[in-house]
Amino acid sequence: MKICVCVKQVPDSWAEKKLNAGDSTLDRASADRVVNELDEYAVEEALRIVEAGEGEVTILSMGPDEAADSVRKAISMGAHAGIHISDPALHGSDALATSLVLAKAIEGRGFDLIIFGSESTDARMSVVPAMVAARLGLPQMTFANKVEISGSNLTIHRVTDYGYDEVESSLPAVVSVVEKTNEPRYPSFKNIMAAKKAPMETLTLADIGLDASTVGLANAWSQVNDFAERAAKAKGTIITDDGHGAEKIEEFLVTQKFI
Amino acid sequence: MTEVLVLIDHTEGAIKKVSLELLAMAAGIGEPSAVFIGPGADNAIATLGEHGAKIVYVVDGQAMLDHVVIPKVEVLTKLVAEKSPAAVLIPSSADGKEIAGRLAIAVDSGVITDAVAVSADVVATQNVFGGATIVHSKVSKGTPIITVRTNSIAPVQSGGTATRVDIAAEISASASATKVVNRVSVAKSGRPDLSEAAIVVSGGRGVGSDEGFTKIIEPLADALGAAVGASRAATDAGWYPHQFQVGQTGKTVSPQLYLASGISGAIQHRAGMQTSKTVVVVNKDGDAPIFDLADFGVIGDLHSVVPELTALVTARK
């Protein structure tokens, strides 16, 4: 079983995030850079599948040079190899371009399974796994909170607003997993050391056969006209409970016509 | 006037509120046409017409729902090619976003997700980073494909009637690569859906236990007809199920009233609720950052304030 896990380097989800004033792209310097939390569930799921049978897990990421750290970090959970697509022309790429790049990097490598986290904590679009499935022409088995493999058959529980759908497909397939699908492990000392020596391919656009005119900010399918920080909210009424706190809330809810 | 396609979210013809909101939004851009896929169209056409749809494109039948998103993408792909709409509006659900993403590839167009407003010239407004930043963006290639969050606009009852146009559709080989073999409903609480609710009553670390949720938070929610939410601290502690988590990871909500009890208001949580219209806070720590978002706040112990409030609200009924 050859599994590819796609990870994204994002600003820490416990930190304030900002856009760059110049080109309205993500300000990657304003917060600590971490592996997207949701992707840790994807790595864990891949490791569990391989550990239950046999195989290899490859971490794939597209991002600036610093994203290599996140690939190593993900490998240190116990994965075997990494692929990092880095090219100045990728700056400002949208989801369409990102999915194109990832699909190009994946195709022809014989992966049985490509696993994503169901969203990134910065852009939160949740579209890239479906787009990569579309580009690769593989079954889209997304928003899973349970993944089961039996031979060349895959079954997932796809989370829905009423519960879940049990969905079947064959392999190879593209999977995305939701938060809390499993309990992601902490990297062991042994795996942290191993990750430093794990094979890592660093590829440019040319290496994966893409032209710079298909990606990047200037070629995006959508553009940001302008942006602004939300104005701080006017200070509300704050009181200290003197035994009448509940009544005061009730009065407020009545004036605001909630009750 | 140019058509604007609206993908209708429904359960066997019972239309979700967000779909009617999208029809109202579409009317600000062009002439709304509803796209109804799945069984139950007979129950839906009149309502869609009353809410502004001039045409309802119908692909009837359960088979469309038995495969992950692709059948819907293929119907929309065909309609975009035939009708050259001014935009395609899709509810910002998990399915909706995936449909939008695949449709964007199929028709070589830009996609914008989680819009809260779309102007007449199809500029979308998004609240990004949990509402900390407001972005205006535009699709620059092809047909704008935009997913829109629930509660972004009020539905408008224009009292019109819609023309039904049936469309033939087949399940392609690519669609049949996935097969839904079973649908499992988890027990419903009877409370409104968290992402659609007008009022959310939410609890955090200060609630202290799972019993705190069932004995303090849930009764207030029920008295107010509200949904229950929880902070990550509470779901990580196992006091409340993860699907009710509001925050950076978890659900993003934007209700009329958000009542936060025992929640300190870390970025992780604020990112999921700070676009709520009115925020009421109960927290014993007066320095908690959640008070910065409060329209009304009580520095006090939720274990006494909230049950009293529940009793007062119940007594008014």
pLDDT band at B33 (very low <50, low <70, confident <90, very high): very high
pLDDT band at B222 (very low <50, low <70, confident <90, very high): very high
What is the rounded CA–CA span in Å between residue A63 and residue A120?
13
- The per-residue pLDDT for range A94-109, each reduced to its tens digit, is 999 999 999 999 999 9
Nearest CA in chain B to A96: B105
Nearest CA in chain A to B126: A227
- Decide if A257 is inside a domain: no
Q: Which residues of B touch A134 (CB under 8 A)?
A: 101-102, 105-106
DSSP-derived secondary structure for chain A? -EEEEE--EEE-TTS---B-TTT--B-TTSS-EEE-HHHHHHHHHHHHHHHHS--EEEEEEESSTTHHHHHHHHHTTT--EEEEE--GGGTT--HHHHHHHHHHHHTTS--SEEEEES--TTT----HHHHHHHHHT--EEEEEEEEEEETTEEEEEEE-SSEEEEEEEESSEEEEE-TTSS-PPPPPHHHHHHHHHS-EEEE-TGGGT--GGGSSGGG-SEEEEEEEEPPPPPP-EEEE-SS-HHHHHHHHHHHTT--
- Decide if A243 is inside a domain: no
Residue-level pLDDT at B178: 98
- The per-residue pLDDT for range A196-211, each reduced to its tens digit, is 999 999 999 999 999 9
Q: Which residues of B touch A21 (CB under 8 A)?
A: none
A with B: how many residue pairs have Cβ under 8 Å apart? 258
- The per-residue pLDDT for range A103-147, each reduced to its tens digit, is 999 999 999 999 999 999 888 899 999 999 999 999 999 999 999
Q: Which residues of B touch A230 (CB under 8 A)?
A: 127, 131-134, 274
Q: Do the Cβ atoms of B249 and A40 come closer than 8 Å?
A: no
Nearest CA distance, B62 vs chain A (angstrom): 14
- Residue B241 CB partners (closer than 8 Å, separation 6+): B235
Task: Indicate yes or no: CB of B140 within 8 angstroms of CB of A24.
Answer: no
**Which strand ranges, in their side-by-side order, compose the sheet holding A2-6?**
A200-203, A81-85, A56-62, A2-6, A113-117, A173-177, A140-150, A153-159, A163-170, B179-185
- The per-residue pLDDT for range B139-188, each reduced to its tens digit, is 999 999 999 998 899 999 989 999 999 999 999 999 999 999 999 988 77
What is the set of domains in chain B, with CATH numbers? 3-177 (3.40.50.620), 199-316 (3.40.50.1220)
pTM: 0.92
B113/A contact by beta carbon, under 8 A? yes
Q: Which residues of A touch B238 (CB under 8 A)?
A: none
CA of residue B268 relative to chain centroid, distance: 20
Nearest CA distance, A252 vs chain B (angstrom): 7
Q: Do the Cβ atoms of B231 and B249 come closer than 8 Å?
A: no
- Decide if A237 is inside a domain: no
Q: Report ipTM (2 d.p.).
A: 0.94
Point out the residue among B179, B186, B257 whose CB comes nearest to the CB of A167. B179
Three-class SS of residue B106?
Answer: helix
Residue B6 one-letter amino acid: V
Q: Do the Cβ atoms of B269 and B247 come closer than 8 Å?
A: yes
Nearest CA distance, A253 vs chain B (angstrom): 9
User: Cα dihedral sign for A7, A8, A11, A13?
Assistant: negative
- Decide if A228 is inside a domain: no
Q: Which residue from B150, B141, B101, B99 is spatially nearest to B122, judged by alpha carbons?
A: B141
CATH of the domain at A101: 3.40.50.620
Task: Indicate yes or no: CB of B312 within 8 angstroms of CB of A179.
Answer: no
pLDDT band at A68 (very low <50, low <70, confident <90, very high): very high
Residue-level pLDDT at A31: 82
- Decide if A235 is inside a domain: no
- Does the structure show a pLDDT above 90 at A162? no
Q: Which residues of A touch B105 (CB under 8 A)?
A: 96, 99, 131, 134-135
Task: Indicate yes or no: CB of B68 within 8 angstroms of CB of A141.
Answer: yes
Q: How many CA atoms lie within 13 A of B173 on its CB side?
A: 2
- Structural domain range at position A132: 2-219
Q: How many domains does chain A have?
A: 1
Nearest CA distance, A233 vs chain B (angstrom): 6
- The per-residue pLDDT for range B224-252, each reduced to its tens digit, is 999 999 999 999 999 999 889 999 888 98
Give the residue from B98, B185, B246 with the most A CB atoms within 10 Å of its CB, the best one to mutate: B98
Nearest CA distance, A73 vs chain B (angstrom): 20
- Residue B162 CB partners (closer than 8 Å, separation 6+): B34, B45, B46, B48, B49, B53, B54, B55, B56
B141/A contact by beta carbon, under 8 A? yes
